Amino acid sequence: MSFTPDNELDLLFPADLISPEVKSQLHPDVHIRPLASTDHRRGHLSVLAVLTVATDLGEAAWVAQFNSMRAAAKTYYSLVIVDKKTDKIVGAGSLFVERKFLHGLSSVGHIEDIAVDKQQQGKKLGLRIIQALTHISESGGCYKTILNCSDDNIPFYVKCGFQRKENEMAKYA
Ligand code: ACO
């Protein structure tokens, strides 16, 4: 089996927003593209499970969430890396664009939910996901791109060009 080409998929955002430079540097066994409406079947939640418990409420509920994200124009950019041989997802990441009144009505890009399948870690897939999301953020006019991570992941994000800034505060419902 080979992977499904982008033009046969129903995508969350236009595929040409993925940096050609990042594509050219990607490991040759994999392909990077926007999340597609059929990606529940390609193991999207299984890959996200390396992050935390990824409860599966079924494909219909997953597709409804996909559609509500796509309805919010220029806001949600989730992308995936698929294995070219199996068409299964091996990496995922998201960018959320927050529009602001400050900074001359500018925007901030928030990177969220970066996950690489355990078998595929260490092949620079995580780095390419961050580079692709940062490219979307910066080419979309965000004046900064930010994220939260554990202390353990700080060296990874430093290698991706990020620096430590301020603190995260959280209040769970
Ligand atoms: N500590 C130190 N260095 C690291 C770490 C780490 N935890 N992870 C990666 N690196 C280094 C690599 O060695 C590599 O260095 P090099 O350029 O000198 O060779 C560089 O960072 C790039 O690494 P990649 O191969 O791109 O990393 P990978 O594809 O394995 O992805 C990731 C890294 C996403 C952290 C992966 O290990 C993963 O999915 N972990 C579990 C889920 C997770 O913690 N996700 C991030 C949560 S934070 C958030 O989502 C905003």
Which residue's CA lies nearest to atom 23 of ligand 1?
A: 124
ipTM value > 0.85: yes
pLDDT value, residue 12: 98
Q: What is the mean pLDDT of residues 152-173?
A: 96
| pLDDT mean across residues, the chain | 97
Portion of the chain with pLDDT greater than 90, in percent = 99
Q: Which two tokens stand for residue 135?
A: 């490219």
Specify burial of residue 42 (Cβ count, 10 A radius: 0-12, 13-18, 19+).
buried
The CA 9 to ligand 1 mean position distance, Å, reads: 28
pLDDT value, residue 15: 98
pLDDT digits (tens, 9 = 90+) for 35-66: 999 999 999 999 999 999 999 999 999 999 99
The CA 125 to ligand 1 mean position distance, Å, reads: 8
The CA 59 to ligand 1 mean position distance, Å, reads: 29
CB 33 within 8 A of CB 11: yes
Distance CA(36)–CA(66), nearest Å, equals: 8
DSSP 59-116: HHHHHHHHHHHHHSTTTEEEEEEEETTT--EEEEEEEEEEE-SHHHH-EEEEEEEEEE
Q: How many CB atoms lie within 10 A of CB 135?
A: 18
Q: Provide the pairing of β-strand 142-146 with 107-116.
A: parallel
Distance CA(25)–CA(158), nearest Å, equals: 19
Q: How many CB atoms lie within 10 A of CB 109?
A: 22
Q: Which two tokens stand for residue 142?
A: 């965000």
Which residue's CA lies nearest to atom 32 of ligand 1?
A: 126
The CA 32 to ligand 1 mean position distance, Å, reads: 17
Residues with CB under 6 A from ligand 1: 50-51, 111-116, 121-127, 147-149, 152-153, 155-156, 159
pLDDT value, residue 1: 61
pLDDT digits (tens, 9 = 90+) for 71-127: 999 999 999 999 999 999 999 999 999 999 999 999 999 999 999 999 999 999 999
pLDDT value, residue 108: 98
CB 72 within 8 A of CB 62: no
Atom of ligand 1 nearest to the CA of 114: 50
Q: What is the mean pLDDT of residues 128-155?
A: 97
Alpha-carbon distances of 32 from 4, 56, 81, rounded to whole Å: 12, 23, 4
Q: For a pocket test of ligand 1, which of 89, 153, 157, 168 has the largest count of ligand atoms closer than 8 A to its C-beta? A: 153
